[in-house]
Amino acid sequence: MNIGNTDIVDTFAEAFSMVGTRIIITAETDAWAMAAARAMTGFATSVIGCKCEAGIEKTLAADETPDRRPGVSVLLFTMDKKSIGTRLVERIGQCVMTCPTTACFNGLSAPDSVVVGGQLRYFGDGFQMSKVINSNRLWRIPVMDGEFLVDESFSITTAVGGGNLLLIGHDRAGTLAAAEQTTAAMRIIDDIILPFPDGVVRSGSKVGSKYKSLIASTNDAYCPTLRAVSKQSALPESAQCVLEIVIDGLTEDAVKQAMQTGMKAAAAAGILQISAGNYGGSLGQYKINLKDLVN
């Protein structure tokens, strides 16, 4: 299979069932809303080491937010309901409530939810007050620049994590440029995030290790410096760089749409080959075949 001059490997991305939510952060200015969003999504690239995966979905104009102020939409994913509640309380409490002028709202409509503001309210030390708007309870927590307004509960939904593309290129400079163009194209898709730094991963992993204490280790099949010594090398002869793009989404369709958009963008940028990471289908609940996205 090909898109233009780019070879598409006949393989699949193995993705996982997760739990996801959307958080709307607003502030007096775009800059302060983004400051809170950046802090909240820090150290959230992988559940393996970070306990959650989170990223900025998009910026919001004042007429798109609950309190008619500039905002940022953030998506956060974990492996289960209990964990997502804990992560929301931690990150909203430490990264959003602490940020000047912010407020924080549930951005998702779903039947299941976790209590967030209902726990953070205790920081008010008895001075907190509740407010009900259209049957929705919010908490007003006194802080030193006024009040922090936060929804009592945040809706959660089943989600998909770990969709991915492997961009295989002739050299580092060209592959990185292609990855930057690819992530820029993918970010226009709603309901997804690219949780790694600016959406790009260089340290792709495989399951297991020669060291028993590690559950994952470097993906030697795609390390150019190991081509001569790794029996598992999957690289074309002329490939000298591989960069991965990981996608988390609120729906499988959103992840597929982002992958399809990314494949087209990477091919247009002249990437040598596009593949995907999987574990033989033994771990993830979703198999996203690249050939289906091409067709």
CATH number of the domain enclosing 147? 3.30.70.520
Of 108, 128, 157, the one marking the end of a domain is 157
Q: What is the pLDDT of residues 81-90, one digit of tens each?
A: 999 999 999 9
Residues 21 and 153 in one domain: yes
Sign of the alpha-carbon dihedral angle for 44, 199, 262, 277: negative
Residues 80 and 132 in one domain: yes
Residues 120 and 245 in one domain: no
Nearest to 177 by CA among 247, 103, 241, 121: 241
Residues 184 and 120 in one domain: no
For residue 141, give both structure tokens: 């927590």
Low-confidence ranges of the chain (pLDDT < 70): none
To the question of pTM greater than 0.75 for the whole model, the response is yes
In this prediction, residue 217 carries a pLDDT of 94
Of 141, 157, 173, the one marking the end of a domain is 157
The range of the structural domain enclosing residue 103 comes to 16-157
Residues 101 and 195 in one domain: no
Residues 152 and 22 in one domain: yes
Residues 107 and 64 in one domain: yes
Decide: 81 and 117 in contact? Cβ < 8 Å.
no
Residues 268 and 287 in one domain: yes
For the chain, the maximum distance between any two Cα atoms, rounded to a whole number of angstroms, is: 67
In this prediction, residue 61 carries a pLDDT of 98
Residues 265 and 275 in one domain: yes
For residue 272, give both structure tokens: 């040598």
Residues 110 and 171 in one domain: no
In this prediction, residue 119 carries a pLDDT of 98
Residues 146 and 181 in one domain: no
Of 124, 157, 190, the one marking the end of a domain is 157
Residues 121 and 32 in one domain: yes
Q: What is the pLDDT of residues 204-240, one digit of tens each?
A: 999 889 999 998 999 999 999 999 898 889 999 999 9
Domains: count for the chain = 2
In this prediction, residue 268 carries a pLDDT of 97
